[in-house]
Amino acid sequence: MKKFQKIRGAHEINPGESETWSYLTKKITEIFESFSYKEIRLPIIESTSLFQRSVGEGTDIVNKEMFTFESKSGKSLTLRPEGTAGCLRASIEMGLTDRGPMRLFYQGPMYRYERPQKGRNREFYQLSAEAYGFDGVNIESEMIQMSHKIFSLLNLEDHYLEINSLGSKKSQQNFSKALKEYLRPLEDQLDPDSKVRLDSNTLRILDSKNPETQKILKNGPKIFEFLDQRSTENFDLLKSSLDEMKIPYKINHNLVRGLDYYNDAVYEWKSDALGSQNTFCAGGRYDSLSKNLGGRDISAVGLSIGLDRLIISLTNQSVFKTKKKLIVIILEDNLFYAGSKIAETIRNNIDEIVVRFDGVRSNLKSQLKKAVKDNYDFAIIIGNEEINKGIFSFKNLKKDDNQLSLTESEILKSISKNIENE
Ligand code: ATP
Ligand code: MG
């Protein structure tokens, strides 16, 4: 019979990997919470028009990457390609943005119809923070400080921060016009994507990976030459604040984002270990989006961590201490309750342990052999004779020790001591 396969660009997170995913999510969430961000859980399906309006008609996401379908009632729906638009949509709809400054975070899968490759999937995961109603650059500093804290805690190697200012929407338009004028006579030398973007989304050409296009851009107008005084001052303030916090950064004047809603500060965390998909966290300010979505005129700043890429950059590192593993083995079927009881006592008394009890009698030698192979640390073996005396056989599988005959409380002590000494 035909076997089913996963959809291209989707992937499962298997046992063995999922522990790292849970650990990361937990750590990042704890840091967000410690900065007073609160979790919001958001739908995965939204109206297609939400993304057309926010991410923008001329962008890759809206033009060619969305999973869009028609509902039974004929509405156009889309699996969210990103979370910023949905989070603001929900906040406006529920009146959260009327309650003064607000810090939120959320996580979950996003969907983009892209060519799958290392670090690029069609279903991928983000963990993101958004802050509404903060005008000054302190909030950008906070976002960067938070992400810096997360990546330092994870001991990420070879990672760095790039920042840029896109200026106000007005200066972006002026720059865009100047760039278009400069590139028009050179149109034939541009890569095909950039040629199309000349008329649809000129700013995005800066992001081209094509070396010829990049060479041409070198002599063209620069975005920072178009910043107004306010944007320049804000960018300077942000830089001083990062200096003050001793957070290293590089200024990349060609850094633009693939979404239309950004203004002023944008930032990306990159890792050379990732190859060409090197950005694993990105964000910036998007002050016009709320009004654009029919909400009040409030400022907004966000950041989004791409978990798939963060995991890849951690592949060769063990980021957390794995829990100890213990197996309870019974030598007779009638010992089920004794086995179940000691297993539960150990779970209740020791935090950092996984206890397995299968509940059926089995061949002791092969069970122990398998436990060693599966990287178990301890085994408790229960036989009829000993149980009558209140005693269990205890074996440290990581050492060549003999089996010890111990009481329940002696076993607990021995395991705790072993965990403490690590
Ligand atoms: P890229 O230029 O790499 O396509 P992007 O600008 O489209 O990235 P954003 O929309 O800013 O990405 O998303 C934030 C983060 O989400 C990215 O930095 C990346 O880590 C992650 N991300 C985006 N698209 C994908 C994808 N298709 N697969 C895996 N992760 C992704
Ligand atoms: Mg993209």
Could you give all domains of the chain from N- to C-terminal order, each with its CATH number?
Answer: 15-167+228-313 (3.30.930.10), 169-226 (no CATH), 324-420 (3.40.50.800)
- Stretch 351-365: mean pLDDT, rounded? 91
pLDDT in tens, 117-130: 999 999 999 999 99
- The secondary element (H helix, E strand) that includes residue 212 is helix 211-218
Distance from the alpha carbon of residue 389 to the mean position of ligand 1, in angstroms: 62
- Stretch 367-388: mean pLDDT, rounded? 93
- Stretch 36-58: mean pLDDT, rounded? 95
Which range, 21-30, 307-316, 381-390, 401-410, has the best average confidence (pLDDT)?
21-30
- The secondary element (H helix, E strand) that includes residue 395 is strand 392-396
Q: CB within 8 A of 33, min separation 6: which ones? A: 39
Distance from the alpha carbon of residue 36 to the mean position of ligand 1, in angstroms: 26
Distance from the alpha carbon of residue 177 to the mean position of ligand 2, in angstroms: 24
Share above pLDDT 70 across residues of the chain, in percent, rounded to a whole number: 99
For ligand 1, residues with CB inside 6 Å are: 82, 112, 114, 119-121, 124, 126, 257-259, 277, 279-282, 304, 306, 308-309
Nearest CA to 144 out of 252, 255, 246, 264 is that of: 246
**Token duo for residue 44:** 């995965």
Give the number of whichever ligand sits closest to the CA of residue 276: 1
317 has a pLDDT exceeding 70:
no
The DSSP string of 218-263 is: HTS--GGGG--HHHHHHHHHHHHHHHHTT---EE-TT---SSTT-E
pLDDT in tens, 218-244: 999 999 999 999 999 999 999 999 999
Residue 316 is predicted with a pLDDT of 62
pLDDT in tens, 98-144: 999 999 999 999 999 999 999 999 999 999 999 999 989 999 999 99
pLDDT in tens, 236-281: 999 999 999 999 999 998 898 877 899 999 999 999 888 888 999 9
Residue 321 is predicted with a pLDDT of 74
Is residue 283 helix, strand or coil? strand
pLDDT grade for 75, boundaries at 50, 70 and 90: very high
pLDDT grade for 170, boundaries at 50, 70 and 90: very high
Among positive and negative, which fits the CA dihedral 54, 127, 279, 140? positive
Chain mean position to CA 5 = 25
Give dist(CA 59, CA 65) in Å, integer: 9
Question: How many Cβ atoms from other residues are within 10 Å of residue 120's Cβ?
Answer: 16
Chain mean position to CA 215 = 33
Nearest CA to 55 out of 205, 202, 258, 254 is that of: 258
- Stretch 32-44: mean pLDDT, rounded? 98
Measured from the Cα of 120, ligand 1's closest atom is 28
Ligand 1, atom 19: closest residue by C-alpha: 306
Instruction: Report whether 414 contacts 399 (CB < 8 A).
Output: no
- Stretch 380-405: mean pLDDT, rounded? 90
Measured from the Cα of 61, ligand 1's closest atom is 7
Residue 335 is predicted with a pLDDT of 94
318 has a pLDDT exceeding 90:
no
Share above pLDDT 90 across residues of the chain, in percent, rounded to a whole number: 79
Q: Are strands 263-271 and 300-306 parallel, antiparallel or unpaired?
A: unpaired
pTM of the shown model: 0.90
